[in-house]
Structure 1
Amino acid sequence: MTDPGMTDAAELQRLRARVAELEAERVQALDGGHGRAERHRWRSVGSAVLLTLACVLAPISVVGVWAGSVVSDTDRYVETVSPLINDPSVQADLTDAVTNAIFTHVDLKAITDEAFNAISNLGLPPRAEAALTALQQPMISGVENFVHSRVQQTISSPQFDTVWDRSNEIAHQQLVNLLEGNQGGAISAQNDTISVNLGPIVAQVKERLIAEGFSLAQNIPNVDVSYDLVQSDAVTQAQSAYRILNALSIWLPIITGILFVAGVLTARHRARAVMLGALGIVAAMLALGIALAVGRIAYLQALPGVVLSRDSAGTVFDTLVRFLRDSLRLTAVIALVVAIAAYFTGTSASAVKARASASRGIARLRGSAEHAGMHTGGVGNWIYRYKRLLWVATVIVGGLVLVFWSEPTIGVVITITIIVVVIVALIEFIGTPPAHQLADAEPSSDAPVEPSGGVAVPPNP
């Protein structure tokens, strides 16, 4: 016969062992959960750091591409500045500057004094001599107006467009030398000052005046006059920034893309990471746009106004950064499209609800089409089977078209996005599940009906 006391002791010992085992499992589970939470936290931190770096480098990449493709490329640079000569304010300022440069080296008063003294030595009557003296200033003004009008006609003529483009081709290398810190040529920088040499333009005007019979233009020497355009400490800073950006213009976009992809892959919720990262790039492009606006104001304030007025200087600035502004706007639109796509493909309640509503709407349209006699048959079944793969392929093709488009615009981005959305909707519309799946999806009449209270009610016998 077993002793009850010994049985109770053994049972107590077994229960204690079981409690210890359960406690150990609980501690292990807590340690494992803590470890997973710690790993998830570090993944989130790493993803945030990588995406933040990508957002910071995105505007720098845009500026680098602009510096490498527009500022450093002669054809693109000439294409950029070519329209400037057709701007009335630029033509007016350039006409005044060239005219002043001519009459700085041609002393009309000395020339007319010499002519009038020679006439006076002919023994003219006092009244005739006084009248001749009175005509001196109107004659000087007439000559100045004549030269000014001829300079204006030369600069505004269609033939000067070719001269302007050719001059810019020659000056482009000098501009690059300036940004690289080298001096000399038509454009130079000394003591944080950018100057432009008007000599080549004056020479063109001189040839035009002599060809029209204005022999006085032969007195115009080879002018080597420099006029200050910008006086600012930013000149030296711009030279340093240009050298860095031009060297990294190819690698910066690649590094930015790698950081963005790495940040998305590191994140726990990747669709959410794509959305937040894309919105961060939109914010970065907005910051770059604000920086350009502030830079424009600083440029106009640094302008001495010797050659260019504020209106024409603003036109020059806007023309030079036109492609940069277009690039940042284009990047912002692409990032916004990516953010919207990531949101609607995410797992948030609103995104799931939106996708469900769209799917139901397309299903109703498909049902109406089938009721009208349109059936896709095996093609529809095949599309339904591989529709997710087809969706991914459509998005990839749309992205590749955008990447390999030579000069995409915002309109091109919007058009490609609309086409991709329409194709995805068509895939959803055409794809029909096989008949057995439709049968499985229909509720059976013998299945219990679950009312709003959540209690299963058996069918009536």
Structure 2
Amino acid sequence: MSDSDEVRRLRERVAQLEAELAAGQHLETREPAGRRESWRTVVSAVLITLACLLAPLSATAVWASRQVSDTDRYLETVAPLAHDPAVQRTISDAVTRQIFAAVDLQAITTDTLNAISRQGLPPRVTANLQALSGPLVSGIQSFIRGQVDNLVASPQFAAVWRQANQTAHASLVNLLEGRQGGALSAQNDTVTLNLAPIIAQVKDRLVANGFSLASRIPVVNTSIVLVQTDSVTKAQGLYRLLNTLGSWLPIIALFLLALGVYIARDHRRALLLGALGVAGSMLVLGVALTLARVFYLNALPAQVISRDAGGAVFDTLVRYLRYGLRAVAVLALIVAAAAFFTGPSISAVRTRAGLTKGIGYLRGRTESAGLSTGRVGAWTFAHKRLLLIASVVGGALVLTFWSRPTVSVVVVTACVVLLAVALIEFIGRPPAGDARPSAPA
């Protein structure tokens, strides 16, 4: 073998070894990077999942701390029940039963007729009076029931209802916090309602309206069973937990969601999945409320309150919770839609291109008609990104500081933000000679 062949062979061997060494170093650098990317994905998924799990608890915590614990908001919540026909019928029946139990109408009627008979009336007239005993009692009972029904259905009853609920609200909070006393109590897994405060209010109203017979009603210190179930103590523990967390739980959930989106490799995809997860958790909360309503009505004693009245009470108490979960679900779907249409999919790209083309066409028609944005358009084009960010942040602040945002508030706010974005795109006019197309928002 010649020296030149040996040199060539050694060079080839060296080149082979260098290639193998470079490949090994490349694998060593790629493997830790791959592990880092994998850990980012796992941590992001865990954080977003925790945020989605905390979302329904956050909505419930806000409802418990603001709607149930706050007296003014509680009274505002239960005020419509005073006008609900099923609730009015239940209250009227309960009050009428207590009046009939406290006042012996049969004895009063018999004594009155006997007193009239002793006034020297003919025997025939006396016999006829005794025959009228039954119809008179029935007529008086009908009169009393009619008076109670009229009072309960009158506008004045709303004030009585508010006063009774204002008195009972402290007892309701005591019940949910596990303390006894007042109009409501929970013992041996049974929830009872003391009728004394309500009957006293109705009694005073009846006397004030000229029904003096109601003055004979003594102080009624009786209770009726509302719920008899082994879940009362569990509900008390859940209420104390949610009321303690209060407004902190939504902040924690939002922080976890934002952190998960930030850690993720694909921020847009993580935001899309997180928003869909929050919307799904709100759907689960809605199903849970429906099941809780069925459970509550099944645990409600039929001899105490009708299912219609019980359903009206449940629906009224949780209506703001339902409004809240619907608003959060719609907001999450809007965020998910925004994340999708800013992505690289064909439909998203075509949608953005179509909107940009449409806005550009309108701008061109306006300028051809002699209308130009001038310096305002140039300034808007130069600060377009800042203005777009300000529009989105403004919409977020509106929803954040709105006391009780509903679905309509969320939709209107989203429409206003979209309109602001469209106006910024429309007004933002490139400087003369700048051929760059307007970047789609």
Q: Is the 8 A contact 2:324 2:404 kept in 1?
A: no
Give the aligned partner of residue 434 of structure 2. Answer: 437
Give matches, 1:131-142, under 5 Å.
131-142=128-139
In structure 2, distance between residues paired with 1:214 and 1:380: 76
Amino acid at match of 2:306: S
Query: Would you say 1:289 and 2:286 are equivalent positions?
Result: yes
Query: Would you say 1:149 and 2:154 are equivalent positions?
Result: no
Query: Would you say 1:240 and 2:274 are equivalent positions?
Result: no
Give the aligned partner of residue 102 of structure 1. Answer: 99
In structure 2, distance between residues paired with 1:251 and 1:214: 53
Q: Is the 8 A contact 1:227 1:306 kept in 2?
A: no
In structure 2, distance between residues paired with 1:376 and 1:207: 71
- Of 205-214 and 407-416, more deviation after overlay is shown by 205-214
How far 1:156 sits from its partner (Å)?
Answer: 2.2
Amino acid at match of 1:82: A
Amino acid at match of 2:158: D
How far 1:277 sits from its partner (Å)?
Answer: 0.6
**Structure 1 residues 177-203: Cα deviation after superposition (integer angstroms, max 9, x where no partner):** 000111111112222222222222322
Q: 2:224 aligns with which of 227, 230, 234?
A: 227
Query: Would you say 1:332 and 2:365 are equivalent positions?
Result: no
Kindly tell me: are residues 383 and 219 of structure 1, through their superposed partners in 2, closer, same or farther at Cα, counting changes over 3 Å?
closer
In structure 2, distance between residues paired with 1:211 and 1:365: 71
In structure 2, distance between residues paired with 1:120 and 1:74: 57
**Structure 1 residues 124-146: Cα deviation after superposition (integer angstroms, max 9, x where no partner):** 77655543433222222222222
Q: Is the 8 A contact 2:160 2:202 kept in 1?
A: no
Kindly tell me: are residues 110 and 263 of structure 1, through their superposed partners in 2, closer, same or farther at Cα, counting changes over 3 Å?
same
Query: Would you say 1:69 and 2:73 are equivalent positions?
Result: no
Give matches, 1:28-427, under 5 Å.
28-115=25-112, 128=125, 130-211=127-208, 214-427=211-424
SS at match of 1:437: coil
- Of 115-124 and 382-391, more deviation after overlay is shown by 115-124
Amino acid at match of 1:365: L
In structure 2, distance between residues paired with 1:404 and 1:227: 41
Kindly tell me: are residues 161 and 212 of structure 1, through their superposed partners in 2, closer, same or farther at Cα, counting changes over 3 Å?
closer
Q: Is the 8 A contact 1:229 1:305 kept in 2?
A: no
In structure 2, distance between residues paired with 1:171 and 1:69: 17
Amino acid at match of 2:364: G
Give the aligned partner of residue 456 of structure 1. Answer: none
How far 1:226 sits from its partner (Å)?
Answer: 0.8
List runs of 5+ in structure 1 lacking aligned partners: 442-461
In structure 2, distance between residues paired with 1:391 and 1:215: 71
- Of 213-222 and 264-273, more deviation after overlay is shown by 213-222
**Structure 1 residues 416-460: Cα deviation after superposition (integer angstroms, max 9, x where no partner):** 21121122122222223334432x88xxxxxxxxxxxxxxxxxxx
Give aligned pairs, total: 437
Amino acid at match of 1:81: V
Q: Is the 8 A contact 2:275 2:333 kept in 1?
A: yes
Kindly tell me: are residues 219 and 364 of structure 1, through their superposed partners in 2, closer, same or farther at Cα, counting changes over 3 Å?
closer
In structure 1, distance between residues paired with 2:393 and 2:192: 49
List runs of 5+ in structure 2 lacking aligned partners: none
Q: Is the 8 A contact 1:383 1:427 kept in 2?
A: yes
- Of 20-29 and 383-392, more deviation after overlay is shown by 383-392
In structure 1, distance between residues paired with 2:268 and 2:206: 69
In structure 2, distance between residues paired with 1:13 and 1:125: 149
Kindly tell me: are residues 205 and 405 of structure 1, through their superposed partners in 2, closer, same or farther at Cα, counting changes over 3 Å?
closer
Give the aligned partner of residue 23 of structure 2. Answer: 26
In structure 2, distance between residues paired with 1:31 and 1:110: 102
- Of 86-95 and 99-108, more deviation after overlay is shown by 99-108
In structure 2, distance between residues paired with 1:193 and 1:80: 24
In structure 2, distance between residues paired with 1:215 and 1:419: 60
- Of 154-163 and 44-53, more deviation after overlay is shown by 154-163
Kindly tell me: are residues 308 and 32 of structure 1, through their superposed partners in 2, closer, same or farther at Cα, counting changes over 3 Å?
same
How far 1:384 sits from its partner (Å)?
Answer: 2.3
Give the aligned partner of residue 457 of structure 1. Answer: none
Q: Matched residues, percent identical?
A: 54
How far 1:323 sits from its partner (Å)?
Answer: 0.7
Q: Is the 8 A contact 2:55 2:278 kept in 1?
A: yes
Q: Is the 8 A contact 1:58 1:253 kept in 2?
A: yes
Q: Compute the TM-score of the two structures, normalised by the length of structure 2.
A: 0.92
Q: Is the 8 A contact 2:196 2:220 kept in 1?
A: yes
SS at match of 2:180: coil
Q: Compute the TM-score of the two structures, normalised by the length of structure 1.
A: 0.88
